[in-house]
Structure 1
Amino acid sequence: MRKLALGLGVLSLSGSASFAGDLGNVYVGVGSASSEYWAAFIEGAKAVAGSKGKDVNVIVSDFNGQKLLEQFGAVFATGCEGCAIAVDPASNAFTKAIVERARDAGAKIVNLWNRPDEIHPWDTAPDAWVANISFDGVDSGYRNGMELCKALNGRGNIAALQGIPDNPPAKQRLAGLEKAVAECPGLKLVDVQVGNWDQTQGQSITRAWLTKYGSDLKGIFSANDGMALGAVAALREQGLAGKVLVTGSDGSSDVMQLIKSGDMLSTMYIDGYVQGATATALAVGVITGDIDLAKLKEEQRDFYLSQTLVNKDNVEAILNGKHVAADYSYDKVKANFWAASVGQIPAGANK
């Protein structure tokens, strides 16, 4: 997996091009310093910020919302007028606090992944919280679940690795899997364990499953690629890679190579680069006056981005796809801020 050399505080990644006088500093708050998805997200943010003559300051939470809040608290302490922020608050518990503190500091903020179902950008700090952007976890879980159903000819025991329990994507992806299992009656979900998005935990849990279920375990559903990589590592220890089917979600290049080799079945490719560019551009657009929040519809402030199921049939094409920063300058994204949107997040999706 591609590594991004970041510390745990705020780091500056250089951009270029013209300066926008009323745009302050640009910040992104990400979950991990070693995730290929987050590395792509930062690159997308850099493409937009760099085209406005700004660096991207990176804050790494390690999926710890309190840590993230404390780090942004230091940023906000002296004011952050005109700052553009795109942040994953790590869990629903911290979303309201960080958007309200951004408002108080004079910043504009786009939230990622974690939004409690009862709050929205139009009713909570509505002049500062620009948008909430995510990917449809139910769709991801369902389509990966149906891949397992198809590959197992409609029957067999499977187990699931879940992410951080109160994260909407973790809950949604498991709900999608359960929907697939209900439609594939020969498929039996024998266990669900929390792996907290972590590769090492995914490996340990899979080892325990192999001890408990042995050859009766036919498939492993993982709610992200990191835990899936851990599952494959455990299977390799027993010579079972490619024999026990594994699915993931994120679309990391490591996992796609495993799909090519037959050691994994599928993953859901979520485009971190496009998400980073879109989120950053929306925050910048409000600051520069290109977006009037009062005129936006709800579906423009709370939406899913498109995603692609990857299996052996299309993995080569996805692996060969590359983003070019010039195609994601602020002016290019501004032409249609919502080009990658597939619609509003439905009510109840984040419960």
Structure 2
Amino acid sequence: MKKKIVLLLAAVMAVGMLAGCGKKGNAPASGAVPAEASGQELAVPEGLAGTKVAWVTIQSDAWHHQTAVKAQELLAANGFTCDLFDTNGDDAKGLECLEQIRTAGDYGLVIYACNVTQLDAFKQLMDKGTSVVMYANDFEDNHGVVSTWVCSEYDLGYLVAEKAAQELPENANVVLLRGIEGWSGSVMRGKGFHAALEDAGRDDITILDEKFQKFQKADAMTCMEDWITAYGDKINGVVSENDDMALGAIEALRGAGMTADAGHVLVYGIDGLYQGCKGIKEGSIQASAYQDSNDYAEAALERIQKLVSGEMKPGDCEDLTFDAAYIDSSNVDEFLTYYEKAGMAQ
């Protein structure tokens, strides 16, 4: 999968101050020679806090946990320690994790996902020689200060809605299951949904309703039950901001005998995790947009290698945008095989 990358590397000025500048760079490369195999010991260069990586996210979220574990495995295979920290979906807990990392003082790289920027804490870490990346969230305040790594949220929303527009019947009625109101990813996925339907020229499609359900399967199931009560068999499609909510909607639809595998409502999701792929294989989900956890893992390896080699400094910014793809019946077997071989079939 190709990656579109915007590289913002800080240039060292005569007085030692750092100023961000933008240029394009190369995609993170996999297959690097493990540090153990090279016979070289990892030395902490001057100005870098350490060679360890801290991955801070909500570990109960399936995609975030999968991504963190993939990174941990790849980094370990290349001689680096990656510790996983759990925010429990709580911004205050995320801040506690960052303080714990700063106090430890031996982390060269922090990769962080939460619903707020934590910019002051990020600056404190960088002052102590730790490089910081915020991923899966794009905050304007972070630009030029810390790195931002994202898969285009707009593209994720656009891809599944584009697929829906190709498959929904004439004069279709759809409902939209949204994620977290105000979160940048949900904002962009929603824009992608609406833009794809408009670009497809499907003026005949009516959006009956859209509601934010915080990416929770149980909440989406209850919401779908309410929509079934309100609209009944008028509903032709469900477009969801993640697979978990899509699966919750499917449970409600099955209870009413309205699922796609029964020849009725078409359902679309985002994430392409194992359970979502199973839904595609079974025919209850038509397609899911996919952001590859391996892209983030490879980027983490490349970043810590650059920091240890001195090619990058802790205050340098490197913003990456990874391409989205979609999974449907034509390629779902490849993904199911991948998850099973990787031990992620759960």
**TM (normalized to structure 2)?**
0.78
**SS of equivalent residue, structure 1 residue 155:** coil
Work out whether residues 131 and 313 of structure 2, in 8 Å CA contact, stay in contact via their aligned partners in 1.
no
TM-superposition CA deviations, 1:265-321 (whole Å, max 9, x none):
110111113312313431442243143689x8x8xx222112211111221223233
**SS of equivalent residue, structure 2 residue 181:** coil
**SS of equivalent residue, structure 2 residue 238:** strand
**Where does 1:195-234 land on structure 2 (aligned, <5 Å)?**
195-234=213-252
Larger Rg: 2
More relative contact order, 1 or 2 (CA 8 Å, 6+ apart) = 2
Q: Distance in 2 between matches of 1:225 and 1:175?
A: 18
Q: Distance in 1 between matches of 2:225 and 2:59?
A: 25
Shift of 1:27: 0.8
Work out whether residues 85 and 280 of structure 1, in 8 Å CA contact, stay in contact via their aligned partners in 2.
no
TM-superposition CA deviations, 1:229-259 (whole Å, max 9, x none):
1111211221222121111111111111111
Counterpart residue identity of residue 286, structure 1? L
Show structure 2 runs of 5+ residues with no match. 1-33, 45-49
Q: Distance in 2 between matches of 1:47 and 1:289?
A: 23
Counterpart residue identity of residue 274, structure 2? S
Fraction of identical pairs, as percent: 20
Work out whether residues 95 and 116 of structure 1, in 8 Å CA contact, stay in contact via their aligned partners in 2.
no
Of 304, 328, 333, the residue aligned with 1:316 is 333
Moved more, 61-70 or 280-289: 280-289
**Where does 1:170-189 land on structure 2 (aligned, <5 Å)?**
170-183=186-199, 184-189=202-207
**SS of equivalent residue, structure 1 residue 32:** coil
Partner residue in 2 for 1:264 = 285
Q: 1:115 and 2:132 equivalent?
A: no
Shift of 1:26: 1.6
Q: Distance in 2 between matches of 1:240 and 1:324?
A: 34
TM-superposition CA deviations, 1:191-238 (whole Å, max 9, x none):
111111111111111111111111111111111112111111211221
Work out whether residues 126 and 314 of structure 2, in 8 Å CA contact, stay in contact via their aligned partners in 1.
no
Shift of 1:167: 2.0
Work out whether residues 69 and 94 of structure 1, in 8 Å CA contact, stay in contact via their aligned partners in 2.
no
Q: Distance in 1 between matches of 2:207 and 2:234?
A: 12
Counterpart residue identity of residue 181, structure 2? P
Q: Distance in 1 between matches of 2:137 and 2:327?
A: 24
Q: What RMSD over aligned residues (CA atoms) do the two structures have, in Å?
A: 2.5
Show structure 1 runs of 5+ residues with no match. 1-15, 326-351
Count of residues in correspondence between the two structures: 295
Shift of 1:47: 3.2
Work out whether residues 54 and 85 of structure 2, in 8 Å CA contact, stay in contact via their aligned partners in 1.
yes
**SS of equivalent residue, structure 1 residue 197:** coil
Work out whether residues 41 and 273 of structure 1, in 8 Å CA contact, stay in contact via their aligned partners in 2.
yes
Could you say if the C-alpha distance between residues 219 and 95 of structure 1 is closer, same or farther in structure 2, counting changes exceeding 3 Å? farther
